[in-house]
A = this chain, B = another copy of it.
Amino acid sequence: MEITNEQMQEWLNCGDSKEYFELLKFVTVGAEASRLRDCVQCATWLKKWLREIGAEAELISPAGKAASHPVPVLFAEIKGEEGSPTVLFYGHYDVQPADPVDKWETPPFEPSFRDGRVYCRGAQDDKGQFFAFLCGVREYLKSGKKNVNLKILLEGQEESGSTGLFSLLEESSFRRRLASDVLLVCDTSAAADLRPAIVAGIRGVNHFTVKLTAASRDLHSGEYGGVAPNAAQGMCELLSSLHAPDGSIAVEGFLDGVEEPSAEEMEKSSAAFETEEDARKAVEKDIGAPPSGGERIKTIARRLGFEPTVEINGVHSGYGGPGSKTVIPCEAIAKISTRLVPGQNPRRTFDALKEHFQKHCPEGMEVSFPEDSGLSSAMKLPVSSPIFAVAEEALTEMDSRGPIYQWSGASIPVVSALKETSGAAALLVGWGQPCDCIHSPNESFSVRQFLLAKEWAKRILEKLQY
């Protein structure tokens, strides 16, 4: 499906794009307490939008531990004919923080249209993907079809551990409302050149902050250099100890239970590239550096889909401004996230890491874990699932190449929980591409991708019949 200039213009003039731009302007950084108001405004805007297409919609504020930062969850329902199958659609309206802000070519929360793409934080992940899908839902409803009962769940903390939604999932009354037959998610990527892809597995995730403290204050590096413990150096040593020189994870107990991928999974996951060298080149072209991360002896497909990771998302200590400041930093923090694969117990992996940090803590320093959010297991779906057959049919109608299967390295922490709670068969099909730069400056989504996601919504809903 290529886009003509005419289609582009038509899209720019239609309600979909105008509303999409409105949606993008909400600064819904769900992780930041100061952005709660923006999140509430965005959720309210979405509730109104859903009511206008005929849904019963309400905002639910989480209670319990999550009540201190009550980013609302939006739940909506549109009934189909009696006896129709029930579809639960999940998406998230929160986005990653925009920093480094100075690397954006246009302001991160002002949608900017250039060369067929919309640039904005959240243009793709997940505002663009879920909203395009909902525009498809609107058209499906307009056509008068009623072959499914639709439930729509939109949360605002996916990027920071889904705290509010997880706390709602503890309430049995809420859990009952989620009962459904199919769980649809539009928050993943297509294969190269937008060939459709069905996700057959996603990694679990865990995020936390490590803090290292040394002296009682920053010290002068001349006066105390040679005797004072240096927290920046200590943190570097600690973080270096997480991996062995071959790139493998060197944390005792972290890998306990890791399941090897099956031969079928290895084969299907490698299908995108003829040879390992092709995969290597494709990654290098995409990221601008050789694929030198992870355990280098293993194939790229395996490292991306079936291997756990321990990643340093940030490290900060001492001075970082212009010129110099000759201090010995007294504290350091690091942001860590791990990706988990089937067989790993998320709690056990976190405990193993905490034990590792304590054990390797440099002399004279103290390690602590001031923040952690969410622990989610990996999820693996059986390739033989009947819902996959329906999806294959719809996707082959849209693209004659047909879909490929993916074991995605990314995580949607709440999806395995939703799958269990709802009792549904999960179907994850999304339209992301590496060039969208999600989580990075200048995130974008193309009109072509938007229209594919919209088309996918219409087709899969029409096909879901008993």
Task: Give the B-binding residues of A (Cβ under 8 A).
Answer: 31-33, 96-97, 99-100, 103, 159-161, 189, 203, 205, 207-209, 214-230, 232-233, 235-237, 239-240, 242-243, 283, 287-295, 300, 303-304, 307, 309, 311-329, 332-335, 337, 339, 362-365, 371, 373, 408-411, 434, 437-441
How far apart sit A165 and B406, CA to CA, in the bound complex (Å)?
63
Residues of B close to A221: CB separation below 8 A? 309, 311, 313, 337, 339, 439
Instruction: List the B residue with the shortest CB-CB distance to A311.
Output: B221
How far apart sit A319 and B24, CA to CA, in the bound complex (Å)?
22
How far apart sit A327 and B189, CA to CA, in the bound complex (Å)?
17
Is the pair B223, A409 in contact by a Cβ cutoff of 8 Å?
A: yes
How far apart sit A140 and B409, CA to CA, in the bound complex (Å)?
75
10 A-B residue pairs with CB within 8 Å: A32-B323, A161-B323, A209-B324, A216-B288, A225-B309, A226-B303, A229-B289, A233-B239, A235-B315, A236-B240
Q: How far is the CB of A66 from chain B (nearest CB, A)?
A: 13
How far apart sit A250 and B387, CA to CA, in the bound complex (Å)?
59
Is the pair B314, A317 in contact by a Cβ cutoff of 8 Å?
A: yes
Is the pair A441, B218 in contact by a Cβ cutoff of 8 Å?
A: yes
Q: How far is the CB of A306 from chain B (nearest CB, A)?
A: 9
Residues of B close to A320: CB separation below 8 A? 314-316, 333, 335
Is the pair B289, A326 in contact by a Cβ cutoff of 8 Å?
A: no
Q: 8 smallest A-B Cβ distances: which pairs?
A: A216-B288, A222-B410, A31-B323, A314-B318, A292-B364, A207-B324, A226-B303, A226-B294
How far apart sit A161 and B322, CA to CA, in the bound complex (Å)?
13
Looking at the complex, which one of B161, B239, B365 makes contact with A324 (CB distance below 8 Å)?
A: B161
Is the pair B229, A293 in contact by a Cβ cutoff of 8 Å?
A: yes
Is the pair B291, A228 in contact by a Cβ cutoff of 8 Å?
A: yes
Given contact pairs A324-B207, A408-B222, A313 touches B318 in the complex (Cβ within 8 A):
yes
Is the pair B222, A324 in contact by a Cβ cutoff of 8 Å?
A: no
Residues of B close to A438: CB separation below 8 A? 220, 223
Instruction: List the B residue with the shortest CB-CB distance to A432.
Output: B223
Residues of B close to A96: CB separation below 8 A? 325-327
Residues of B close to A103: CB separation below 8 A? 217
Is the pair A229, B292 in contact by a Cβ cutoff of 8 Å?
A: yes
Q: How far is the CB of A314 from chain B (nearest CB, A)?
A: 3
Residues of B close to A319: CB separation below 8 A? 97, 99, 313-314, 335
Looking at the complex, which one of B100, B373, B410 makes contact with A323 (CB distance below 8 Å)?
A: B373
14 new A-B contacts, CB < 8 A, other than A209-B324, A225-B337, A227-B294, are A33-B322, A205-B326, A220-B438, A224-B304, A226-B294, A227-B304, A228-B287, A229-B291, A229-B292, A232-B313, A236-B312, A312-B317, A314-B325, A314-B327
Instruction: List the B residue with the shortest CB-CB distance to A309.
Output: B225
Q: How far is the CB of A54 from chain B (nearest CB, A)?
A: 35
Given contact pairs A226-B307, A233-B239, A373-B323, A364 touches B290 in the complex (Cβ within 8 A):
yes
Instruction: List the B residue with the shortest CB-CB distance to A441.
Output: B217
Residues of B close to A240: CB separation below 8 A? 233, 236-237, 240
Residues of B close to A99: CB separation below 8 A? 319, 321
How far apart sit A96 and B287, CA to CA, in the bound complex (Å)?
39
Is the pair A326, B439 in contact by a Cβ cutoff of 8 Å?
A: yes
Residues of B close to A217: CB separation below 8 A? 103, 287-288, 437, 440-441
Looking at the complex, which one of B294, B313, B332, B334 makes contact with A326 (CB distance below 8 Å)?
A: B313
Interface centre among A220, A221, A291 (most CB of B within 10 A): A221
